[in-house]
Structure 1
């Protein structure tokens, strides 16, 4: 019997310069109180969307292999029907609406071309729906409305959306309140990113000058405004249930490994785009640690319940706090990771302490393991996970 619990915890420390990655309804950077101190917060939704976009934009995964979340399901399906079956736009739209209305209960929204709610699905799944009717599309569109509705009601439209999920649907899940059968439980959990230290919100006052004004005219700005910002060292955490992901991907091991590798890289290297043209805030992490666990995921944010306070740098001190929390959870609770692969600089971390560098480097290495690059860390993690998917690992 194989243990069906395999989690990959991803811990990231990342410093961002003045920025407004994720704003609230008033335009302020999102915040939260943690450990009695006000922290910068970046919502999990913001970083999950950034990760999804990175699949295509940064990793180059073809759009046809990914999902899309939209109210324009019928329009996308109609375009495919028109292209494959040679239908007119009007006939394709009519057939598309009929296909979606019965099994998916997709009714029109406020705009004619949109449904009442968002759907998250794979483009390949739309192609599978087209395949149900492509050979008889002309015949079906010649039917009266009642006859057409009856004819398509017998087709397994819903079934096409419950298998062969793209990796982003398999990872992040899908909820359809009206049709629980279409729900997909997410294989990932992503925490809200928090600054490891207290933050203050600052204001950038800016002006814009009209280039076409002559010198004789008034010298005032044509526009003035303010944007709120802050800078921070963030702790980011996500966990991936590998066996759950495999189940969402029809137990296709290679597809699962592909999805694991894509998520491990995209989550670490992606960045929300709020005010990116104003602040050019894209950075890379100072610490990335992948921890494979067979017991439970462990969010290590408690390392920063007491906020880091420093006037000569935050990131290295935060890394030391994180390493000590890893060792504490292992020693006190027996939650020792099966495998650890990390990207970090032990020398800079050790330089923050008062003891001899060698002592602190040993302590940090105990937590984060040998130093490696991002590619090596990802592949080391994959190597630890694959045998457990193959079923060759003994019950632990």
Structure 2
């Protein structure tokens, strides 16, 4: 097989009585696909939970600094020096340079992703400016000059290493509207997950009991409410651009392998979920397939264009049939490994446990040749 260019990760996870991802009306997100409406979990929701979870496979345990996404980083994280007027001017000027002309209204700012190395750099510069400036105008001009001469600062740091913007930016990309040269291309592409069958939901009616009035002999009802609950077997899909990932990680292929090994564990076991306190939406993947190959990736979502039943064996059979058809048409060019709690088989793939599957994916990336 040629050197692997992409890793593709497909998985099936089942959830009962949950509300994993809500829309602006508080209802489950949905997606029309094939001839049925499906329940959906957005890619943003999935990535958010993979980034922020704190367990043995957390991204923050890998080594590189993480990042902070906020509209208020200058006010909350960047240290300052000087008089009160100088500090206020430095904060205001840095906010304008980072967030654009509308920085004065925090609610209108972009929630900018800044790496911890970038924040440390800006802290040092803010303190330096505060100590040198004797009045607010001088501080404001010093901040403007700093960003003008340093190519926007973020772009200058970006040229040193993508990791200056934090591990999240190296994996999932970053867009900076005020400094486009600081943008980072995502090395990991995440699709929206959706149910392999038609949506299954119901309205849950519930009451809140007032303990004191109830004890006094009254009805004790303090409120009547309803919420939506859904259940389903979800298909998810992730693509890792291996050369770009390794490049974003300072050409450290071994580090890239470690990132991917952690990612496989996170995809398999980390649950996105609104209303956790009332639904306990925790579940592990029932099937996960990892493919390593050099040709352009392709989703296997079309295996479920015609809805199937919410049974893992039925869904895996549909997936395997679809893979066979794709292989017959385009040829088999990928090396495959998969896990299945039902010990189901997939066309052209070897069944392994999760630790071996994660190690396989990590070894593929770690073996990537890097620039001399």
Q: Which of 306, 321, 325 is equivalent to 2:318?
A: 321
Q: What is the CA-CA distance between 1:109 and the residue it aligns to?
A: 3.9
Distance 1:252 1:93 in 2: 41
Q: How many residues align?
A: 362
Distance 2:235 2:166 in 1: 29
- Alignment match, 1:275: 275
Alignment of 1:44-83 (within 5 A): 44-54=43-53, 59=58, 61=60, 65-78=65-78, 81-82=79-80
Structure 2's unaligned 5+ residue stretches are none
- Alignment match, 1:142: 134
Alignment of 1:258-269 (within 5 A): 258-269=258-269
Query: Are the counterparts in 1 of residues 69 and 113 from structure 2 also a CA contact under 8 Å?
Result: yes
Query: In 2 relative to 1, CA 127–53 (structure 1 residues): closer, same or farther, beyond 3 Å?
Result: same
RMSD: 2.9
SS in 1 for 2:239: strand
Q: What is the CA-CA distance between 1:97 and the residue it aligns to?
A: 3.6
Distance 2:130 2:325 in 1: 67
SS in 2 for 1:120: strand
SS in 1 for 2:211: coil
Q: Is residue 127 of structure 1 aligned with residue 127 of structure 2?
A: no
Q: Is residue 195 of structure 1 aligned with residue 205 of structure 2?
A: no
Query: In 2 relative to 1, CA 115–249 (structure 1 residues): closer, same or farther, beyond 3 Å?
Result: farther
Distance 1:90 1:251 in 2: 44
Any idea what the Cα deviations from partners look like across 1:40-60, whole Å, max 9, x if unmatched?
A: 111111111111112678627
The alignment's TM-score, normalised by the length of structure 2, stands at 0.86
Q: What is the CA-CA distance between 1:389 and the residue it aligns to?
A: 3.6
Any idea what the Cα deviations from partners look like across 1:178-206, whole Å, max 9, x if unmatched?
A: 43212111112111111111123211111
- Alignment match, 1:355: none
Q: What is the CA-CA distance between 1:234 and the residue it aligns to?
A: 0.6
Q: Is residue 372 of structure 1 aligned with residue 349 of structure 2?
A: no
Q: What is the CA-CA distance between 1:391 and the residue it aligns to?
A: 6.6
The alignment's TM-score, normalised by the length of structure 1, stands at 0.81
Q: What is the CA-CA distance between 1:152 and the residue it aligns to?
A: 5.5
**Which has the higher mean CA deviation after the structures are superposed, 143-152 or 165-174?**
143-152
Q: What is the CA-CA distance between 1:37 and the residue it aligns to?
A: 1.2
Any idea what the Cα deviations from partners look like across 1:147-193, whole Å, max 9, x if unmatched?
A: 65146614522313553332211111111234321211111211111
- Alignment match, 1:211: 211
Structure 1's unaligned 5+ residue stretches are 350-363
Query: Are the counterparts in 2 of residues 300 and 326 from structure 1 also a CA contact under 8 Å?
Result: yes
Alignment of 1:1-396 (within 5 A): 6-54=5-53, 59=58, 61=60, 65-78=65-78, 81-82=79-80, 91-102=86-97, 105=100, 107-111=102-106, 116-132=109-125, 134=127, 136-146=128-138, 148-150=140-142, 153-154=145-146, 156=150, 157-158=153-154, 159-161=156-158, 163=161, 164=163, 165-309=165-309, 314-337=311-334, 339-345=335-341, 347=343, 349=344, 364-369=345-350, 371-390=351-370
